[in-house]
Structure 1
């Protein structure tokens, strides 16, 4: 079926059921950011391949709501689909709800698949549209028209040894149960895949780039049940979990168990990371405590073994990045390099490193104007050759058995403009400003965000995405609860958290510049004013300085960069051959 045919088929079902509007979120029953192919509903319906968006269909309009990161990509991919791009004014804000209120008549019916809508979103829809007396119904209009829909993944899963992860399953369950007692909760439902992977020390390959396994869990004071396909784990791993007090049941049996929770009991459930369908199964006599999963905070604070292993991963990743940068410099002008072939070569360099499992996300390799698309994904149709001029942005990461990486570097290819030089220097200055920040205990991400942006604000420049996100340990490259963006989220930056710092400048049709390092929150000093924290830069890879306009930097920024590069050379050079050492030496020479 073509996309217009799919749209028409959905509208026919809506008309039959008397549904005025149909919502398709970008989600699965675990409210994941990255989805198994089975749940890539928006891509199936519209052709749009971005990771975050929402589709709303009425009889006379079909729109895809997306933010700044996807404007150009969406406009290109939605051509001739019957769907229009609706540009979000505020990233992450469900602005389509207001549109529905203004568009639909009183008493209209809105349909959506309750498995794909979070509790938070489901409740928000009911609350915000109550004045219109809107009725909501569970509807799945995609399954009837989705021929050869991909099956749920069946990849095997495995347990990570306690000594590689720093904490046993039983000790993690104990900490979760302590949190339940504080919330006066007798049960706890977990649907979010990275929380489950962390809690049970389990990894898999059910979702591209994220080493997670489709599963649910129900925790009580005396019992922990993991709902997962039985054949995903081998006998030894099942026995290990049983020894930790974990019962294993079938993946889809969670629904039945929720229906029969004891009357007058209580359950803690994260409204952002559980689906509306499961929520509605909980008996009305059960008290619902809507709070963030305790594991979300516990997972974000890395233990000593996780930190030590992540440092190892950064060395391996830094070696691969160095080899890649050298390969680009040596090959350009001799053999054709395209965005796709460059990404493939970078993956090959990483694959040579011990412990490499796969990429942590789809590499963003954007040459010239493609670099101005923050979430650009090169395809056979968009792929272009890299030439000896302009800027080449590469944002990539690796999953290792001992850590997760995420790094962005920009390669000046030659004949660069004064505008490119200024932009590059200011992005570098902003990144350094964030990395070298000292801050008091209790500081939140939006404060780090503002500090990082200040050097660019001085020149009336800004960027439309956040400054940074949490990063997992051999887990999701995007991890909460901390986030460095302008939203006043009251989540303090804690010791042991790993977060990215990645400011950028994007000039549509010209170039994009983003420079990204990962940082670890560490103790700095304590005095009569407060405990102060700082960032240890974990990422180890050279930053090209050929475009840097030194006069735009302060001495503190130059000193930071020189110290950083000295550390990069010291840590990486023992793992490089002589030619690579010479190359790295030049890349890391003092500014």
Structure 2
């Protein structure tokens, strides 16, 4: 079927049910950011392959709501589909709700597959549209027309030994139970895959780039049940979990378990990370307590084993990055290099590292104007040749069995313009200030975000994405609850939190620049004013200095850059050949 034919069949089902609008979020029953193929509903319905967006279909309009990162991609991929791009003003905001409120008449019905709608979103839709007498109903209009829908993944999962992760399953469950008791909760439902992977020391291959397993958990003070495809674990692994107090149950049994919760009990649920359909399965007499999963906060603070192993992973990753940068500098202008071939070359260097388990996300390999698309994804159609001029942006990361990496470097390939040099220097200044800041206990991400942006703001330059996100331990490259962006997120930074610092400048049709390091929050001082924190730079890879405009830099920024590149050489050179070390020595010379 063409996309227009799919749209027609969806509308036919809507008409039969007297539904005026149908909402298709980018989600699964676990409210994941990255989805297994079975739940890639937006690409199936519209052809749009970005990782963030919502489709809204009425009888006379079909639109994709997404943010600025995907405007050009969406314009290209939606062509001829019957869908139009609706440009969101605020990233992640469900602005289509207000649009529906203004478009639909009182008494209208709006449908969505409520397994793909978070509790928070479902209540927002129902509440705001309900003010106008519009009701939300649970419907799946894709299942009946998706004849070749991919099956749910069946890849085996595996458990990680306590010695490699620093904490046993039993001790983690105990920590969660402490939080449940503090909230007077009898039960706790967990649907978010990274929380489950962390809590049960389990990893898998069910979702590209994220080593997670499709599963649910229901925890009480005396019992813990893990719901997943039982064939994913061996009998020995199930016995290991049982010894830690965990009973393995079939994936689909979670629905029955929720429907059979004891009368007048209570259940703790994260409204942003559980689906609306499952909330409705809970008996009316059960009191629902809504708050962030305790495991989300516990997982964010890495223990000593996780941090030390992450440092090892960063060194391995730095070796791969260095070899890639050396290859690029030596081959440009001699060998035909494209965005896709460069990404493949980088992956080959990573794959050669001991413990490599795969990429942590789809590499953003973006030359020249493509760099101005923050989430650009090179394809066979768009694959640009990298030439010995201008700027080449590479945002990539690796999953290692002992850590997750995420790094961006923007590389001058030859002659560059004054504007490119200026923008590069401003981004570098912002990244340095974000990495070197000292701050008091209680500081939140939006404060770090502002500090990082100031060197760009001083020149009336800004960027539309957040400055940083949390990163997991051999887990999701995007992890909460901490985030560096302008939103007044109340989560304070704590020692052991790993976060990215990645300012950028994007000039459509010209170039994009982003420089990114991962940092770990550490305690550096304590006095009569407060406990003071700073960042340990975990990412170890050279930062190019050839186009830095020193007259725009302050001395403390130059000192930080020189010290950082010196550290990179010190840490990486023992793992390199003599020729590679010599190249790195020249690349990291002080300016």
TM-score over 0.5 for the pair: yes
The Cα shift of 1:333 comes to 1.4
Shift of 1:90: 0.7
Task: Give the Cα–Cα distance (whole angstroms) in 1 for the partners of residues 128 and 488 of structure 2.
Answer: 22
In 1: Cα distance, 2:47 partner to 2:390 partner: 30
Residue 202 of structure 2: aligned partner: 202
Q: Is 2:11 the partner of 1:11?
A: yes
Distance 1:41 1:83 in 2: 14
Secondary structure of the structure 1 residue equivalent to 2:419: helix
Shift of 1:130: 1.5
Distance in 2 of aligned mates of 1:320 and 1:501: 20
Q: State the distance in 2 between where 1:549 and 1:334 align.
A: 28
Determine the C-alpha separation between the residues in 2 that align with 1:404 and 1:367: 25
- 1:312 is aligned to 312
Q: Which residue of 2 aligns with 1:577?
A: 577
Which residue matches 2:62? 62
Shift of 1:391: 0.5
- Look up the match of 1:415: 415
Secondary structure in 2 aligned to 1:106?
A: coil
Cα offset, 1:415, TM superposition: 1.4
**How far did 1:473 drift?**
0.2
Q: Show structure 2 runs of 5+ residues with no match.
A: none
Q: Is the 2:159–2:202 Cα contact (8 Å) retained in structure 1?
A: yes
4+ runs deviating over 4 angstroms: none
Q: CA offset at residue 478 of structure 1?
A: 0.1
* Residue 153 (structure 2) aligns with: 153
Find out whether 1:451 has 2:477 as its counterpart.
no
CA distance in 2, matches of 1:287, 1:232: 33
- Specify the alignment match of 1:387 in structure 2: 387
Q: Provide the residue aligned with 1:508 in structure 2.
A: 508
Residue 581 of structure 1: how far off its partner (Å): 0.4
Distance in structure 1 (CA, Å) of the matches to 2:47 and 2:309: 39
Give the aligned partner of residue 465 of structure 1: 465
Counterpart-to-counterpart distance in 2, 1:587 and 1:186: 58
In the other structure, the counterpart of 1:329 is: 329
Listed one character per residue, the Cα deviations across residues 232-275 of structure 1 (whole Å, up to 9, x for unaligned) are 00122111001001001000000001001000000000000000
| Counterpart-to-counterpart distance in 1, 2:530 and 2:131 | 48
Aligned partner of 1:521 in structure 2 is 521
Query: 1:68-101 deviations in whole A, cap 9, x for unaligned?
Result: 1111111111111110111111111110000000
Cα drift, residue 334 of structure 1: 1.5
Q: Which residue of 2 aligns with 1:252?
A: 252
* 2:21 corresponding residue in structure 1: 21
Q: What is the DSSP-based 3-state SS (H/G/I as helix, E as strand, rest coil) of the residue aligned with 1:505?
A: strand
Task: Give 3-state SS (helix, strand or coil) of 2:208's partner.
Answer: coil
Cα drift, residue 126 of structure 1 = 1.0
Q: Which deviates the most, 265-274 or 124-133? A: 124-133
Distance 1:547 1:66 in 2: 34
Q: Distance in 2 between matches of 1:184 and 1:587?
A: 57
The corresponding residue for 1:138 is 138
In structure 2, distance between residues paired with 1:334 and 1:424: 26
TM-superposed CA distance for 1:462, in Å, is 0.2
Task: For residue 135 of structure 1, report the CA deviation from its aligned partner.
Answer: 1.5
Q: Are the equivalent residues in 1 in contact too, given 2:504–2:512 (CA < 8 A)?
A: yes
Partner of 1:127: 127
Q: Which moved more, 1:419-428 or 1:123-132?
A: 123-132
Per mean C-alpha deviation after superposition, the further-off stretch among 325-334 and 246-255 is 325-334
**3-state secondary structure, aligned to 2:391:** strand
Deviations along 1:16-69, one digit per CA (max 9) or x if unpaired, are 111000000000000000000000000101100100100100011101000111
The structural deviation recorded for 1:346 is 0.4
Aligned to 1:74: 74
Give the Å deviation of 1:493. 0.8
Within 5 Å, give how 1:115-514 maps onto structure 2: 115-514=115-514
CA shift, 1:414, in A, is 1.1
User: Which deviations, in whole Å up to 9, do the C-alpha atoms of 1:1-21 show, x marking residues without a partner?
Assistant: 111111111111111111000
Structure-2 residue corresponding to 1:42: 42
Distance 1:301 1:213 in 2: 22
Give CA-to-partner distance per residue, 1:533-581, whole Å, 9 cap, x none.
0000000000111110001010110111111111100100000001110
Question: C-alpha displacement at 1:335, in angstroms?
Answer: 1.3
Deviations 1:371-415 (A, max 9, x none): 000000000111011111110000000000000000000110111
Distance 2:221 2:284 in 1: 21
CA distance in 2, matches of 1:131, 1:206: 40
**What does the per-residue CA deviation read over 1:298-338, in whole Å, with 9 as the maximum and x for residues that have no partner?**
00000000000000000000000000001111111111111
Q: Once the two structures are superposed, what CA deviation does each residue of 1:189-210 show, in whole Å capped at 9, x if it has no partner?
A: 0000000000000000000000
SS of match in other structure, 2:369:
helix
Quote the Cα distance in structure 2 between the aligned partners of 1:228 and 1:9: 33
Contact 2:129 2:135 in 1 (8 A): no
CA shift, 1:277, in A, is: 0.8
- Looking at structure 2, the residues matched to 136 and 26 of structure 1 have their Cα atoms a distance apart, in angstroms, of 18
| TM-score w.r.t. length of structure 1 | 1.00
Q: Deviations over 1:411-451 (max 9, x none)?
A: 10111000000000000000000000000000000000000
Paired residue secondary structure (1:414): coil
SS of the aligned residue for 1:375 comes to: coil
* Residue number in structure 1 paired with 2:566: 566
When the two chains are superposed, the root-mean-square deviation of aligned CA atoms in Å is: 0.5
**Helix, strand or coil at the partner of 1:463:** coil
